[in-house]
Amino acid sequence: MSKVDNRFSFTSKNLNSITERGAYYDDHKDANGLIYNIQTDNKTGSFIVRERLNGKKVTITIGRYPKTTIEQARKKARTIQTDFSNGINPNIKKKFDRTKQITLIQMFEKYLQAKKLKPMTIRGYQISFKNVLAPLANKELTAITYDNVQDVHTEYSERSQAEADRAMRLLRAIFYMAMDDIKDLDGRPLILENPVRKLGKNKHFTKLDRKTRKLEDDQIKPFLECIESLTKDPRPFYQSGADLLLILLYHGTRFTETASIKWNQIDFRYKRFYLTETKSGRRLWLPITIETEKVLKRRKRLATGSEYIFPSATDPSKHISDVKKPLRHILEQTGIEITPHDLRRTFLSNGTRLGISDYVLKQLANHAPSNDVTAGYVIQNTDELQEPSQQIVNALFEKAGRNISDGDSLLSDLLSALSENDKRKLILQLSNTNKSQA
């Protein structure tokens, strides 16, 4: 069939005989504006309908021939023409139908892609979804009711109330996103109420008490002694983990922000370093205090070429991911159960007891600025933060019955850099010097 003869009643025979690209129009009495469109040389095309809506040309693709039969195409074209006559764009309607049918798992994946989340946060959400929300995963969001949510929450609460609540908070956030995304053909929200919100109204959520654990005054000495013994352990993961825990105690910084520090973030000349992977998303400069300098110099002597100060023992191209083994050792040796965040609370609580300004403590801890306008203007540089930071560490050492001395630090650094053989030679040399002077 030639391109000139492009208007005829569609049959399988004449569609199969078309040899040229172009648009062919069905003049069957039930055609409903059906068009067969071939755009390539492979002699197969698609069924489409073209109409004008609100002054604009709209093309609707029905399906490829022969997978979509002529009768199926004519029937679909009739539905499309009905939409056009009602002022509805079928393409928008098709998109709406797909959106309306989105499942919870699909919306969850969309949520993870849309939000700027850290890998650790994403893993936590995925675990929470798998553990708690799995029964609702393949259910359409528009079909999830308050009763569905309550059933899932109640069932998992028997195993872990806290985990059930965490999952519900995630589900609540997903639904709020869906309420903005899923709308009807007139642009109105299709989900009018967040089904998880009612859980809170009905007081099904458990109020989680804010954690307050920190190192008590009488725990500081055994903690420091145990940690410092680990810094001399021949096993790298104990050495690195122990030094990291000391920095967390001396600065009150967050674990991930501190574990990911690289050598190029250290400025020994001006005694300062900075964090990049911060929760607030801004670079934070902090002073290098006396004890911190000891740790960094020790790390430098033990460095094996990794760009990280606290490299992973198994893969130096990555930083340390946890300090479980050193913490377990501390618990076994001292009975002190502590977490990295507890050390942060220890640092800040001691700063408060010393009367250090809240503005300064917020900067040391890299807390987001409050709504207090004055706080936005009080910005200390690292020189100004040096004294309060050192005061807190001094107070910790005082509670441990110890003093901090620059001279002790230098001597300690020199001695620890010597081999056992060199140490014996030095002792022998000093002994002979003393005898000759006598």
pLDDT reported for residue 102: 82
DSSP readout, 235-256?
SHHHHHHHHHHHHHHHH---HH
Secondary structure of residue 266 in the 3-state scheme: strand
49: burial class by Cβ within 10 Å (0-12, 13-18, 19+)? Answer: buried
Task: Please tell me the predicted confidence (pLDDT) of residue 434.
Answer: 55
Tell me what pLDDT residue 73 has.
92
| Section 316-325 average pLDDT | 92
Is the distance from CB of 292 to CB of 251 less than 8 angstroms? Answer: yes
Tell which wins on pLDDT, 416 or 286. 286
For 90-239, strand residue ranges (E) read none
* Per-residue pLDDT reduced to its tens digit, 61-98: 889 998 999 999 999 989 888 888 877 777 766 766 66
**Percent of the chain whose predicted confidence (pLDDT) is above 90:** 45
User: What average pLDDT does the segment 355-363 reach?
Assistant: 88
Calculate mean pLDDT across residues 109-125.
87
- Spell out the domains of the chain, with CATH numbers in brackets: 7-89 (3.30.160.390), 104-201 (1.10.150.130), 217-404 (1.10.443.10)
Q: How many C-beta neighbours within 10 Å does residue 174 have? A: 21
Query: Of 293-297, 346-350, 416-420, which range is least confident?
Result: 416-420
| Residue entry with tokens 């250090």 | 356
Is residue 433 pLDDT above 70, yes or no? no
Number of other residues whose CB lies within 10 A of the CB of residue 427: 10
| The pLDDT of residue 410 | 45
More confident residue, 407 or 353: 353
pLDDT, average across residues 224-251: 93
- What integer pLDDT is reported at residue 258 of this predicted model? 93
Q: Identify which has the larger pLDDT, 135 or 97.
A: 135
The structure tokens listed for 404 are 């901090």
* pLDDT at 18 (0 to 100): 86
Predicted confidence at residue 104, as pLDDT, reads 92
Per the DSSP assignment, residues forming a β-bridge with 46 are 37, 64
User: What is the per-residue pLDDT for 198?
Assistant: 81
Closest CA to 384 of 355, 364, 405, 366: 364
Whether the per-residue pLDDT at 99 is higher than 70: the answer is no
Q: pTM for the full model?
A: 0.56
Provide the pLDDT for residue 407.
42
Those residues whose C-beta lies under 8 Å from the C-beta of residue 57, and which sit 6 or more positions away, are 50, 51
Spell out the long-range contacts of 349-358 with Cβ–Cβ below 8 A and sequence spacing 24 or more. 349/214, 350/392, 350/395, 350/396, 351/252, 351/388, 351/391, 351/392, 353/395, 354/388, 354/391, 354/392, 354/395, 356/388, 356/391, 356/392, 357/388
For 288, the token pair is 């290098």
Lookup: tokens for 44:
């197969």
- pLDDT tens digit sequence for 207-224: 545 567 899 999 999 999
CA pseudo-torsion sign 155, 161, 163, 167: positive
The phi-psi region of residue 55 (left if phi > 0; otherwise alpha if psi is between -120 and 50; otherwise beta) is left
Residue 192 clears pLDDT 90, i.e. is over it: no
User: What is the model's pLDDT at position 375?
Assistant: 40
Residue 429 confidence (pLDDT) above 80: no
Range with lowest mean pLDDT among 49-53, 269-273, 322-326 = 49-53
